[in-house]
């Protein structure tokens, strides 16, 4: 397929035809993602043998496609895209920004919606604002409008609208949130922690592996041998150890792990204490977050603590994750982990059983998006236990928003 260049007649600038750019341009005009994707694919195929096309001619091709779909309003909006109807959002801190599909979608993602549900809400809201020719809307009114749409939606309904309400109440409260992500090696703790931190704009993250590494520099192997092993081989550092043969007894494996986790408890507690003292949110992940240790943690503040135990229920899935680690993080090669896979699998069974006993929420980490959505739904359900607010109280506006939509 030859590369097609798109030229701007005014300054003769040439850039490659980019399907993703065209999709976003169509979405900004009110086209849903699937239709925009189909149109962009058709245009790219039509330009297969075209080396150069002007932005004007490309616009005519797109407009022709839109008109064939009998979408008059969208076609007109695309035709006038150089003078778009921009909706300005006035924020509570005084900022004024243009309505952004991406940012709005991101805000909805935090309440655990699926990808198609997100696209539908974003598309509907943008069309609503543009069709009503709303030029300015306050952020609280936009949130109230979203609440009303979610509540009235036949696919989503009051339960989803309530999640939106509870989460916004928490955001407005200024309280910090502490995520504690446990799980055995290879179950996806680090990637899930990074996803939570980036999605929720949490700047402070910590791993218990890093805490263990710091402690190793202060406590030599001769002094505390159990600290210098992996969590699944910590039994080797136990005192008075006898030959165990090829298969490690489960009680010995657990004893070694618990000994190492106990050594890290004070460091874990200190990290959480500092976060709560400075009133900042935190994502803490690591195999050493044993459910019993979680039960002992006391923040002494109104911080929201969300303990999660991650796991994978199929051996082949955990093996695939471990093998993938050597590609994503070369320093954490898979050879050592695969050589001890049976111990890792045993340790996971123990951690999941302990989490179930302690009523720590268990999330099966088979899909990045599903895991994030489930964690957020659980988080909001936890917050909802002490929630008694109303839309008017949370958003600070009345439900009568006819002047803004």
Could you report the per-residue pLDDT of 220-241, keeping only the tens digit for each?
A: 998 999 999 899 888 888 887 7
- Say what the pLDDT of residue 284 is: 95
Of 76, 65, 61, which Cα lies nearest the Cα of 29?
76
Query: 269 — phi, psi (to 5°)?
Result: -60, -35
Tens digits of residue pLDDT in 369-392: 899 999 999 999 999 998 888 889
Give the H or E element holding residue 309.
Answer: strand 304-311
Q: Work out the percent of the chain whose per-residue pLDDT is above 70.
A: 88
pLDDT score recorded for residue 402: 44
Structure confidence at residue 279 (pLDDT) = 92
Tokens standing for residue 379: 């988080």
**Residue 236 neighbours by CB distance under 10 Å:** 15
Helix ranges restricted to H, 132-188: 139-152, 158-173
Question: What is the per-residue burial (b if ≥16 Cβ within 10 Å, else e) of 353-386?
Answer: ebbeeeebbbbbbeeeeebbbbbbbbbbebbbee
Nearest to 208 by CA among 103, 284, 137: 284
Q: Look at residue 403 in the predicted model and tell me its pLDDT.
A: 44
* Cβ-contact 310, 298 below 8 angstroms: no
What pTM, to 2 d.p., does this model score?
Answer: 0.77
pLDDT string in tens for the chain (405-residue length): 457 888 877 667 778 888 788 887 777 777 778 888 888 888 888 888 788 888 778 888 888 877 777 665 666 666 655 444 567 888 888 888 888 888 888 899 999 888 888 888 888 888 788 778 788 888 899 999 999 999 998 888 999 999 999 999 999 888 999 999 999 998 999 999 999 999 999 999 999 999 999 999 999 998 999 999 899 888 888 887 766 767 888 889 999 999 999 999 999 999 999 999 999 999 999 999 998 887 777 666 788 999 999 999 998 888 888 887 655 555 556 788 888 889 999 999 999 999 999 999 999 998 888 999 999 999 999 999 988 888 899 888 775 544 444
Confidence at residue 261, expressed as pLDDT on a 0 to 100 scale = 94
Kindly give, in sequence order, each residue whose CB lies less than 8 Å from that of residue 256, ignoring residues fewer than 6 positions away.
226, 229, 233, 234, 235, 236, 237, 238
């Amino acid at each position: 397929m030859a590369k097609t260049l798109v030229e701007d007649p005014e300054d003769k600038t040439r850039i490659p035809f980019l399907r993703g750019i065209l999709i976003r341009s169509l979405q900004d005009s009110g086209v849903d993602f699937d239709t925009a994707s189909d149109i962009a694919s058709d245009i790219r195929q039509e330009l297969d043998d075209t080396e150069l096309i002007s932005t004007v001619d490309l616009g005519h091709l797109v407009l022709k496609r839109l008109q064939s779909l009998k979408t008059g309003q969208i076609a007109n909006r695309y035709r006038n895209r150089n003078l778009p109807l921009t909706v300005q959002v006035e924020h509570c801190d005084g900022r004024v920004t243009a309505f952004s599909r991406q940012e709005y979608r991101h805000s909805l993602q935090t309440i655990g919606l699926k990808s198609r549900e997100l696209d539908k809400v974003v598309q509907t809201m943008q069309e609503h604002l543009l069709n009503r020719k709303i030029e300015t809307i306050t952020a609280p009114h936009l949130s109230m409008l979203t609440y009303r749409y979610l509540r009235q939606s036949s696919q989503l309904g009051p339960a989803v609208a309530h999640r939106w309400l509870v989460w916004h109440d928490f955001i407005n409260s200024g309280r910090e949130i502490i995520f504690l992500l446990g799980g055995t090696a290879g179950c996806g703790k680090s990637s899930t922690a990074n996803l939570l931190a980036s999605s929720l704009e949490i700047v402070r993250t910590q791993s218990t592996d890093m805490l263990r590494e710091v402690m190793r520099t202060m406590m030599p192997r001769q002094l505390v041998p159990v600290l210098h092993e992996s969590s699944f081989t910590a039994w080797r550092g136990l005192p008075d150890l006898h030959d165990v043969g090829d298969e490690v007894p489960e009680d010995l494996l657990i004893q070694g792990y618990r000994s190492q986790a106990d050594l890290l408890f004070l460091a874990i507690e200190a990290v959480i204490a500092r976060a709560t003292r400075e009133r900042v949110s935190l994502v803490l992940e690591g195999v050493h977050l044993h459910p019993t240790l979680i039960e002992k943690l006391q923040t002494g503040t109104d911080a929201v603590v969300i303990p999660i135990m991650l796991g994978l229920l199929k051996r082949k899935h955990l093996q695939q994750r471990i093998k993938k680690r050597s590609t994503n993080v070369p320093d954490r090669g898979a050879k050592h982990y695969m050589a001890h896979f049976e111990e890792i699998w045993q340790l996971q069974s123990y951690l999941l059983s302990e989490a179930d006993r302690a009523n720590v929420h268990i999330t099966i980490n088979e899909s990045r998006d599903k895991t994030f959505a489930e964690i957020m739904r659980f988080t909001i359900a936890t917050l909802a236990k002490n929630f008694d607010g109303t839309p008017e109280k949370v958003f600070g506006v009345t439900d009568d928003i006819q002047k803004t939509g």
